[in-house]
Amino acid sequence: MNILQIVRGLDIGGDSGGAEKFGVELGRALNRAGCNVTLCAFFRVHSKMEAEWEKRLTEEGIRTFFLTDWNGYGNVTAFRNGLMTLREYLKGYPPFDVVHSHFLLGNVTALWLKLIGRARTAYRTSHILREWTKGKHTGWLNLLFIQYLFSIGLDAEIGVSQAIVDYLASHPGARISRHKPHLIRNAVSFNQPPSEPGRVPFFSKKPGTYIVGSVGRLETQKGYTYLLEAIPKILTVCPQTNFYVIGEGSLHHDLEEKASRLKISSRIQFVGIRDDIPYLLQEMDLFVLPSLWEGFPTVLLESMICNVPVIATDIPGTRELVRTGQNGWLVAPQDPAALADTIIEALNNPKLRETCSQQAALDVRRFTIENISEEYLQLYRTHLPT
């Protein structure tokens, strides 16, 4: 089976996030399963992480290419140029059996490839409820493509959470086409990292201190401003707590300034992009995800696999994974006081932290990339013409 996976980019942890990482990991798993996988990263940003992922995929035998440089949201010329580059690139290659996209402009591309006969079947995975919120043309694009054309023209739409599936099913196009969206969860691609004798811990931790960490892009969606506002209250009760945020994004400078105004700069560090996340997770006493909206966040799955107790905001998608007092804690979004109280409760209750982390490690086992990629293969086979 010849499969083209389309993602926004490969600067994972910086310009790109969980949806891109999942698309890449799905491609890798399908490649290991014997499929002939090609990966199209639409936008190039020329980062170190991007180059590392491109090298890794090429070494694994996955043909990887970029279409155009990133020039900001709403750049119609860049998108058109990307499509022209793709058309030229695919000359001489037979049509793909499957084209599968993981972001909005990629969905348009997948639909276009099917219409011009370059793909036998086309799919999109919706990774988040709030789609197409950036750019100059979001209103009519949302109405035309999300409400109608994707549901009608693609072979299937997939949601990574039940909330997203319900959202997709509510679109007029889904009712017209009678295509029911499919629920296929996100997945994780690693077990607990192997021990590395002599590895020096990244976080400085003394006896009696706590490490509270988070991983994600420094953007509004991730809600880090509320975590910062919670820290002063936490430090009054648990003064030996240090906070680390791993990731990069447009709010880096603003968050550092806010930490300075709150007089907590010495207790929180913005680490930047790292390629050793599993090891860093294992060093944490608690993982916090203060997001305002999510799909089915893989970073929570990764934390659970690494036996890190988790606190997350009570939002669609996340609440389908975390159960308060059983495998973690849920807290109201945009509520620094409630977040502080929950972090304090977790830090002061080591037995409950251990119980939650053990249950979470059991719960997350079904979300392996191997299991999820097999679900996708079954879906592809259902729609491929014989």
% of the chain beyond a pLDDT of 90: 79
Q: What is the pLDDT of residue 107?
A: 96
CA atoms within 13 A on the CB side of 289: 33
Could you say which architecture CATH assigns to the domain 2-189+368-383? 3-Layer(aba) Sandwich (3.40)
Q: Give 76-83 contacts, CB < 8 A, sequence gap 24+.
A: 76/137, 78/43, 79/105, 82/42, 82/43, 82/109, 83/109, 83/112
CA atoms of 361 and 347, how far apart (whole Å): 19
Q: What is the pLDDT of residues 253-273, one digit of tens each?
A: 999 999 999 999 999 999 999
User: In the prediction, which pLDDT does 189 show?
Assistant: 76
CA–CA separation, 43 and 82 (whole Å): 8
pLDDT of residue 131: 77
CA 18 and chain centroid, separation: 1
Q: Report the C-alpha gap between 370 and 33 in whole angstroms.
A: 9
Q: What pLDDT score was predicted for residue 201?
A: 85
- Coil, strand or helix at 32: helix
Tokens of 192: 């607990």
Amino acid at 201: P
Token duo for residue 173:
């196009």
pLDDT of residue 144: 87
pLDDT score at 75: 76
Pairing label, strands 329-331, 182-183? unpaired
Q: Give me the residues of the chain with pLDDT under 70, please.
A: 132-137, 190-195, 386
Domain boundaries, the chain: 2-189+368-383, 210-366
* pLDDT at residue 194 in the model: 64
**What is the DSSP secondary structure assignment for residue 143, as one 8-state letter?**
I
Length of the chain equals: 386
Residues 137-168 pLDDT 10s = 677 777 888 999 999 999 999 999 999 999 99
Long-range contacts of 348-357 (CB under 8 A, 24+ apart): 348/237, 348/238, 352/325, 353/285, 353/286, 353/309, 354/309, 356/309, 356/310, 356/325, 356/326, 356/327, 356/328, 356/329, 357/304, 357/307, 357/308, 357/309, 357/327
pTM of the model: 0.89
* Token code pair at residue 118: 């370059």
CATH H-level superfamily of 210-366: Glycogen Phosphorylase B; (3.40.50.2000)
